[in-house]
């Protein structure tokens, strides 16, 4: 077998390193080297989110692996007209993590997750990049612009992996209210973050 | 769908709906551009929420992932388009949504089919023919994952002229049935019967004799007992190889 692919790719002589979208196009055609670069770009975000939802490090690693292999397997599903590659990957990651959490159903764990989603700010990284810190700050500021119920609904569903029925139970609010709060909370976040889709 | 369906965009984007609700909402998305637009914006917003949780995974994970990738077959791009119904109903998303984009073609019979093999032993009607299709030397199996947790397999044998459909992971329906349709290249569809889904979401294999021009299969949710023609958009559809 040709081991040329194992030689680290030297990005330095690329005038403009390919972005995630371009790399996914290569991955869709079976380019393993491009996949390695995709891994480097997205694995911290995937792992961070999955870990946030699952909390358990071993399970988080497992699900992160599943997500990344899924990115490889279904790279041809990514359609740039429907959204950014980051959104596509993170949708896969969130769905996988949520599926894992729902298949567990250990109630003590679920309570712990509720507490985590409720009080923890997104932090706990030691060597974070400056850009990551900025992004984190921006997200935190935008979450602060939400009403209490909007913020809790979005946090519990997104960072806690709860269904809207569970969120309604946890917050003792009617189902219809929670559905609406999730939507208007996301609208406010979207506008605050300057998302232009 | 009630008038508040549009407000489900948020819960949908946060993966906070049950699988059945998600499928129904995706039905709604097929006809509602404003919801599609909103869901896209929310997916981008969620990606930003995710970006605030960045944490480097353990270094060993990279080698493990690359090693698995090296032996993992990629989904092939799907045929350009699924049959486009020209008469009666239009199924807009047959051309668009997720499951149409990639279809895995498995030459060897996969685990799903082996499961079916066990089920098959317990069947009375059609059992011989189903077993014959699954074990035919020229059996071609096509699988797809139309949505998270749901897998669909179609096995067909050209020499026998039969096709076996099976799936698992389907949610239980109340007072409604899943109905299987075969879709022809001229856009017409014909029923292959109502699916029988057990509590575990396992669909008993259905045997069908596709006629000339059959290109794919589709499943819709119909009133109990099924309909003569589909009355709703498919919850899944896939082309049939061979
Ligand atoms: Zn709508």
Summarised one tens digit per residue, pLDDT across range A11-46 is 444 456 789 999 999 999 899 999 999 999 999 999
State the Cα–Cα distance between residues B44 and A83, nearest whole angstrom.
7
* Same domain (yes/no): A130, A179: yes
Q: What is the CATH number of the domain that holds A174?
A: 1.10.10.10
Q: B39 is in which domain, residue-wise?
A: 5-53+132-239
Give B29 Cα–ligand 1 centroid separation in angstroms: 6
- Residue B198 within any structural domain of the chain: yes
Asked whether the beta carbons of residue A94 and residue B77 sit closer than 8 angstroms, the reply is no
Higher-confidence residue: A188 or A6?
A: A188
Cross-strand pairs, B36: none
A83 compared with B142, residue with greater pLDDT: A83
d(CA A187, CA A184): 5
Name the residue of chain B whose CA is nearest to A88's CA. B43
Last residue of a domain, one of A64, A88, A121: A121
Distance CA B105, CA B102 (A): 10
Residue B31 CA to ligand 1 center (angstroms) comes to: 8
Same domain for A55 and A131, yes or no, is no
Q: Are residues A88 and A106 in the same domain?
A: yes
Domain around A84 = 1-121
CB contact under 8 A, A47 and B56: yes
Are A32 and A114 contained in the same domain? yes
Q: Is this complex scored with an ipTM above 0.90? A: no
* pLDDT single digits (tens) B159-176: 888 888 888 777 778 788
Q: Which residues contact B140 (CB under 8 A, 6 or more apart)?
A: B105, B107, B155, B156, B157, B158, B241, B242
Q: Please indicate, yes or no, whether residues A155 and A106 belong to a single structural domain of this protein.
A: no
Domain match, A9 and A103 both:
yes
Domain count, chain A: 2
- Interface contact flag, A189 B149, Cβ < 8 Å: no
A140 touching chain B per CB within 8 A: yes
pLDDT at B19 over 80: yes
A58 and A151 both lie in a single domain: no
Q: Please tell me whether residues A81 and A58 are part of one structural domain.
A: yes
Ligand 1 centre to CA of B66 (Å) is 40
Same domain, A8 and A58: yes
Give the chain B residue nearest A86 (alpha carbons).
B47
The answer to whether position B11 is within a domain reads yes
A57-73 and A20-28 helices, crossing angle to 10°: 70
- The domain tally of chain B equals 1
Question: CATH number, domain at B231?
Answer: 2.60.40
Among residues A77, A78, A74, the alpha carbon closest in space to that of A66 is found at A74
The alpha carbon of residue B55 is apart from the nearest alpha carbon of chain A, in Å, by 4
The shortest CB-CB distance from A99 to any of B18, B43, B148 is to: B148
Choose the final residue of a domain: A121, A145, A162. A121
* A17 shares a domain with A62: yes
Q: Residue B46 domain-assigned? A: yes
Could you tell me if A132 and A166 lie in one domain? yes
For B88, the 3-state DSSP assignment is: coil
- The predicted-structure confidence for B120-150, as pLDDT tens digits, reads as follows 444 444 566 776 777 677 777 777 777 767 7
**In a shared domain, residues A35 and A96:** yes
- pTM score, two decimals? 0.60
Ligand 1 center from residue B6 Cα (angstroms): 4
For B34, other C-beta atoms within 10 Å of its C-beta total: 9
Q: How confident is the model at residue A117 (pLDDT cuts 50, 70, 90)?
A: low
Question: Inter-chain contact A43–B41, Cβ cutoff 8 Å?
Answer: no
């Amino acid at each position: 077998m040709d081991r040329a692919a194992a030689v680290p790719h030297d990005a330095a002589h690329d005038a403009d390193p390919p972005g995630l979208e371009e790399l996914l196009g290569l991955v869709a055609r079976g380019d393993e080297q491009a996949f390695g670069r995709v891994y480097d770009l997205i694995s911290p975000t995937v792992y961070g989110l999955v870990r946030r939802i699952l909390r358990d490090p071993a399970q988080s690693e497992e699900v992160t692996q599943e997500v990344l292999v899924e990115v490889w397997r279904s790279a041809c599903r990514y359609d740039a007209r429907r959204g950014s590659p980051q959104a596509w990957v993170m949708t896969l990651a969130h769905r996988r993590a949520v599926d894992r959490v729902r298949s567990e159903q250990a109630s003590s764990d679920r309570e712990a997750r509720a507490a985590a989603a409720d009080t923890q700010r997104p932090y706990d990284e030691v060597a974070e990049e400056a850009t990551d810190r900025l992004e984190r700050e921006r997200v935190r500021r935008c979450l602060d612009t939400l009403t209490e119920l909007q913020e809790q609904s979005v946090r519990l569903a997104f960072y806690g992996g709860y269904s809207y029925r569970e969120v309604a139970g946890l917050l003792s609010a009617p189902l219809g209210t929670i559905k609406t709060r999730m939507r208007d909370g996301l609208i406010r976040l979207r506008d605050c973050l300057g998302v232009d889709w | 769908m009630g008038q508040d369906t549009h407000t489900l965009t948020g819960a949908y984007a946060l993966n906070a709906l049950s699988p059945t609700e998600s499928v129904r909402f995706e039905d709604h998305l097929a006809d509602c551009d404003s919801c599609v637009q909103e869901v896209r914006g929310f997916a981008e917003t969620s990606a930003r929420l995710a970006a605030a949780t960045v944490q480097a995974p353990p270094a060993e994970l990279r080698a493990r992932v690359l090693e698995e990738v090296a032996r993992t077959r990629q989904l092939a791009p799907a045929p350009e388009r699924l049959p486009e119904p020209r008469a009666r109903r239009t199924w807009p998303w047959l051309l668009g949504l997720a499951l149409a984009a990639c279809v895995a073609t498995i030459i060897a019979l996969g685990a799903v089919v082996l499961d079916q093999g066990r089920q098959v032993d317990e069947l009375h009607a059609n059992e011989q023919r189903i077993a014959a299709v699954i074990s035919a030397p020229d059996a071609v199996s096509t699988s797809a994952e139309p949505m998270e947790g749901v897998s669909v397999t179609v096995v067909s044998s050209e020499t026998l002229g039969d096709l076996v459909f099976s799936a698992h992971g389907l949610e239980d329906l109340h007072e409604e049935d899943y109905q299987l349709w075969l879709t022809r290249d001229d856009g017409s569809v014909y029923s292959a019967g109502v699916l029988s889904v057990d509590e575990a979401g396992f669909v008993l294999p259905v045997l069908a004799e596709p006629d000339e021009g059959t290109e794919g299969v589709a499943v819709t949710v119909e009133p109990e007992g099924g309909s003569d023609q589909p009355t709703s958009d498919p919850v899944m559809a896939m082309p049939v190889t061979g």
